Structures are given as structure tokens and as C-alpha cells.
Structure 1
Amino acid sequence: MNFTKKSLVLVAFSFVTVMFSQEKPEVKIGGALRFNYNLSSWKDGQKKRGGDFGFDVFRINAKAKYKGIKLNAEYRFYSQSFGGGMLKQGWIGYDFNEKDNIQLGLTQVPFGITQYNSHSWFFGINYYLGLEDDHDMGLKFTHKGEKWEYAFAFLKNAEELNFGSNSDVSDSRYSYDVASIDIDGDGTLDLRYKETNQLNGKVNYHFGNKNTQHKIGFSAQYGGLYNLDTEDTSSHHAFALHYQLNVKNFDAKAQVSKYKYNTKNTTYKDLIALTAYGAPYLTATEATTYTLGAAYTFPVKWKPISSIQVYNDFGYMGKTAENFEDSIMNVFGFLVTAGNVYTYIDFAAGKDHPWLGPVWTNALANGTPNANWDMRFNINIGYYF
């Protein structure tokens, strides 16, 4: 090998060595520990002892990046009665550029206002119907430009923990998905469905100026509904119109959503089961929801408190089936920020809502005629690291 060839080889080797030595793996570990106090108007024993204060969740977050490939995962540890351990999200991604990204795995469904269509610890009524902060297994492409923002996804199914031919959906999950339930108490599961082969599309348009920002958008999803008993596949779909406003320390969120599950079930007409946090319940197969939330953040200098956000989130679920009672929830509260500690103080009221009243299984389904408003005072304290 002559001197020129040797020089070229050395230069090429040096370039490759420098290039790879400059690109080192990045790993970030974080998480949170949260405690919860609540006092519910429909729990007599709890009222007599002045409410209950206990463990909420311990979570671990992991982010990694190497050679342009990214990892983002969050695993949560709840009490066993609340579902136990569960993966909230976990995906492998790649940034094509500053605007375009692709994710594979347990990723947030691009539907409605994301990341959250609410401000409170309770989320909004859409969350309890699987239409807010939902995460499913699949492939998602996202584009975020100055004016236009859009996302498309193919979601094979919800989180799958049991890979059997006839396995029911596990109740241990963070976001609500179609599942199975024992309606008549005979020990046999009924309404055994699974979500499958879902397509999602979402588009947002930004406009405004430096002080006032608007975002208006449309979302749609369509997928299969597999019956574990009959082995037939029907369909489900949902649509949403959404709007967001940001004016300095004020923000508002509004959304109208319409969904329908075509179960073709004549025995339990107009009913389907959803599950999360270890316990399923029934909901109406068709409804329209209306949500409206607003918040204002006050910067303060009360060491260690740096800001207090005041918010109100309202949600209404209008059910299509005759003789089904509509469901309502409203959450007024405060978010207090003190260093790494975030405290949600919520005054949550509900009518025919499983988490805000004495009726669990049927609240979001047929409901209760002349149901009373029930109240839950809740304080969630979390240290995020």
C-alpha cells in the first residue's frame, strides 16, 4: 500500500472514529411518588373518620436515545386493588427531522386534545370512556409544523397481556379499553369484546399572534370490535371537533365528541364493558360528549410555592339509547407548584359517574333515574423527579 492509500485509509478511519465517538447513548431516568387524600359524600364510614389518606402511585420513567432511535417508557405501581403494576406507555421512536416523528409500541392514541383534554387530577369525562389520554399498541406518525399539525396511526389492539386464542382483556391498565364483564354474577364473563385493527387520524391548525394562540382541529377513528364468543368482528368509530385557546396565563379547551360501538348484541342491547385500574364497568354503546375546561395560572413568590393554577373542567355525556340517564361531571380545583412537588386540590362533583357516586357498574350505561349529585374532595400530592 503506497503512502497516498495509507493516508486515505487513516483519514477515513479517523473520521468514522470521531463520528461515532461524538454520538453517545443518552439515558434519563425519572418518576414520581404520589399520595392521595379523599373524602366522598356517598361513603358514610369515610365521612365519620374524616376521609382517608394513603398511597396513590409510584412510577418510573425512562428515556433513551442513540443513533437517532428513541425510547420512552413509563411503568406505574399502584396497589393491588387498583390494578397493581402496569405500563402506561412504552414506545420506540425515530425523529426524521424536527417536525416528523414515528413511534412503535404502546403509544398515545391521536384523538381529541392531547396530551390532556382537562386540567385536573380527575381528567375529563372522555377519559372514563377511553377517549382521553388513551394508549394502544401500534404505529403512529406525527408532524408538527408552525401552522399545521397532524398524526396518523394504525393501532393493532389495546395493551395485550394475555396472548391466548380466547383470552379476555386484562383489567390491569392505565387507560380505559373495551373488555369483558360478569353482568349477572354467575362467574362467567359476558360482553367479551376486544378492540382490533384501529385507524386514527387527527389534524390541527394553529393561528394567532405572540400573545394569543388558537388551535382548532378534527379527529376520527375507526376500528374492529372482535367478539371472543362468536369470533365475529363488528366495528366502532368516533369523531371529535376540538379547540384550544392560550392567552398569556389563561388557557381554555373545548371538545365535542361522538362515538359508537356496533356490538350487534341483542341480549345486552346498548351496553359494552370498559376496564382500567383493576375493575370493569358498563357504558352506553353510543353517546355524544361535550367538554369545556379553563385555567388561569398565578405566578407567586411564596417560598417554596412558585405558582397556583385555578381551573374548572366540565363534562357532559348525552346517551343515545332511550331511558338511559345522561352523565355529568364537574371539577373545580387548584394546582399548587412548589419545586418538584405538584399538588392537585379538587372539588369533584358527578351525576351518574362511577368514580363520583355510589353506583359503579351502570353509572355510564343506563344510569339511575333522578340520581343525586355526589361530591368528592380530593388532594393529590406528588414529588416528580
Structure 2
Amino acid sequence: MHHAWGGWKIDEASDVRVGIQQVPFGLLPYAAQSFWFGSGYYLGIEDDYDLGVVWRRGDGAHQWHAGVFFADEYGTGGRPGRYSFDVATTDDHPYRERERLNLRYENTRDWAGGELALGVSAFTGRIEDRARDGHHGHHGAALHAQWSRDAWTWQAQWARYRYDVPEARVSLSAFLFPFDIAAEADVPTLNVAYALPRSGWFDGITCYNNLSSTRPVRSDPGLRESWQNVTGCSFAKGKSFTYVDWIAGKNMWFAGGPGVGIDEPGGDGWRSRLNINIGFYF
């Protein structure tokens, strides 16, 4: 399940949504332009959809989000077949997501001939320890910026997340496979995109480079930084949208690595693959 929500429009500037919806954290709607998103997606802090209530307000240059989330979209860590990356319940790491409070603010202004959006996000909550019948803290924060001028868009973000668990790792899952990540890490992101002038057959072509990494905070022999870089272009035509991009990763899950921010055999060296994805949206 991706999303399912209902909403109430309070006034012209604000509304409330209830249900499975995007968690307001960091650059929105995405901290990337590519098919693969950025490293934050695989860590559950980018384009994550959970069950909760979110208040949104857009007042001129100011945008606020405040959300309370009760659990992941299925309410269980034992279902790995999902779109969003959430805490997985495994034998080594028997946890699942519980309550979380999210706050986000963004200010938009004119700057250097373009539009600059500066923002800050934070969340605090807990995960359930199903083996010890207790809970552990789950926290995160991000500073984010996006500058657009003419056909260029630049994005920068620094995020940190932390699971207050005894181990140096936790498990996440999506697309049927659980894997380990560092329990605490910094996640810097730097993206650039250029929208080509419209001409010829396509309605729009955007080329981009998305760079991100996961840098564990704890000093532990089982942890090591991960890198991901995606270079490519997207092509829009009518109801179709196509990605052609090249993903390269070092010690990065989905690019040949064993997980994200962990040190396991098979994580050495850069690995890459070519992706061509054609979608139709109705």
C-alpha cells in the first residue's frame, strides 16, 4: 500500500489529513530527481508513508507541517512486502515502529535571481522491542535547502537519525527483503538538475545528478560509510514518464551492497547498474 487518506480543509491556507500519507521530513516531495531516490529513502527518512494525522499550513512564504504517526502503514514489522522502508522485526533485531511526532518548517524567498527554500525538520518517537517487552527512542533532524533559477535546481540536505537500541544496527525492509542499517548516522545529500528547453517530441526532459551518503556516528567494527550516486535523465510525454539513469554505489544496498552503513563482506568497491523505467500514469 502506498497511501490512503481523507482530509478536511480548515481554511484557504491549512488542512488536516488522516490516514496513510507521506511523512513530512526533509526536502519535499523528494530529496532527489532520480528513479532510485537518495540514500535517505533506504533509511526510511525520505518518501516514507505511515499511518497518522498531519496538519499542514501554507501562508505565503511560510510552510508548516505537524504530524503524529501511530505506526508504519501495516502496523507490523513482520511484513517486508511494502513500498516504504520501515523497521523490520527480525530474529537479530526484534523491533517495530510505534508512535512518532514530526515537525517541519520551510521559508521561501527570492535570492540571487531565483527562489530559495530553507527548512528544518525534526521527529521524535519510539520503536517497540518485542523481545524485551519495552521501547527505545527513535529521533531525527534535518536542515534542507532548495534553490531554483531558470532551468536549474539545486538541493542540499543534512540529516541525522538515531535508534536508541543496544546494538549498533537495526533492520529495515521493503520490496520483500529485510536488511541491516547503522542504528545512528548522518545522511548528507547534494543534488543538481537541469530542465532542458521544450522541443521535439517530448513534453519535458530533465537531467540530474543525485549524490548522497550514510556516515555512521557510532564507532563500531560492524559499521562503515555507504555512498550512492545517480546520474541520468527523465523524459515526460503525455501520460508516460521514463527514467534512464545510472546508479553507482559503494557499500550500498540496492547497488550490490549488504546493507546501508554496515561493514560486511561484499561491500568493497563501487558497483553500478543501468536502469530504464517506463511508467504510464492515469
TM-score by length of 1: 0.70
What does residue 236 of structure 2 align with? 337
C-alpha offsets along residues 138-173 of structure 1, whole Å, 9 cap, x if unaligned?
1100001111101001101111256xxxxx431121
Contact 1:242 1:254 in 2 (8 A): yes
What does residue 137 of structure 1 align with? 51
More helix by share: 1
Any gaps of 5 or more consecutive residues in structure 1? 1-86, 163-167, 182-188
What does residue 83 of structure 1 align with? none
1:230 aligns with 2:144: no
SS of equivalent residue, structure 1 residue 131: coil
Which of 251, 257, 280 is the equivalent residue of 2:153?
251
SS of equivalent residue, structure 2 residue 40: helix
SS of equivalent residue, structure 2 residue 273: strand
Alignment of 1:151-230 (within 5 A): 151-160=65-74, 168-181=77-90, 189-208=91-110, 212-230=114-132
1:290 aligns with 2:188: yes
Separation in structure 2 between the aligned mates of residue 230 and residue 222 of structure 1, nearest angstrom: 21
What does residue 199 of structure 2 align with? 301
Alignment of 1:91-130 (within 5 A): 91-130=5-44
Separation in structure 2 between the aligned mates of residue 365 and residue 298 of structure 1, nearest angstrom: 38
Q: Which amino acid aligns with 2:158?
A: V
Q: Alignment RMSD, CA only?
A: 1.7
SS of equivalent residue, structure 1 residue 140: strand
What does residue 316 of structure 1 align with? 213
Separation in structure 2 between the aligned mates of residue 169 and residue 122 of structure 1, nearest angstrom: 24
Separation in structure 1 between the aligned mates of residue 237 and residue 25 of structure 2, nearest angstrom: 32
1:148 aligns with 2:62: yes
Deviation at 1:365, TM superposition (A): 2.1
Separation in structure 2 between the aligned mates of residue 368 and residue 220 of structure 1, nearest angstrom: 34
Deviation at 1:260, TM superposition (A): 0.7
Separation in structure 1 between the aligned mates of residue 2 and residue 260 of structure 2, nearest angstrom: 25
SS of equivalent residue, structure 1 residue 138: strand
What does residue 255 of structure 2 align with? 356
Calculate percent identity across the aligned residue pairs: 30
SS of equivalent residue, structure 1 residue 127: helix
C-alpha offsets along residues 352-385 of structure 1, whole Å, 9 cap, x if unaligned?
111001x43x453224587110011000011112
Contact 1:160 1:169 in 2 (8 A): no
Separation in structure 2 between the aligned mates of residue 367 and residue 351 of structure 1, nearest angstrom: 12
Separation in structure 2 between the aligned mates of residue 91 and residue 234 of structure 1, nearest angstrom: 28
Any gaps of 5 or more consecutive residues in structure 2? none
What does residue 270 of structure 1 align with? 168
Deviation at 1:114, TM superposition (A): 1.1
Separation in structure 1 between the aligned mates of residue 205 and residue 131 of structure 2, nearest angstrom: 51
Deviation at 1:306, TM superposition (A): 2.3
Deviation at 1:210, TM superposition (A): 11
Contact 2:251 2:267 in 1 (8 A): no
Q: Which amino acid aligns with 1:321?
A: R
TM-score by length of 2: 0.95
SS of equivalent residue, structure 2 residue 161: strand
Separation in structure 1 between the aligned mates of residue 254 and residue 267 of structure 2, nearest angstrom: 18
What does residue 246 of structure 2 align with? 347
C-alpha offsets along residues 320-343 of structure 1, whole Å, 9 cap, x if unaligned?
233322100000000112222211
Separation in structure 2 between the aligned mates of residue 367 and residue 243 of structure 1, nearest angstrom: 34
Contact 2:250 2:267 in 1 (8 A): no
Work out which of the two has the higher radius of gyration on C-alpha atoms and give 1 or 2. 1
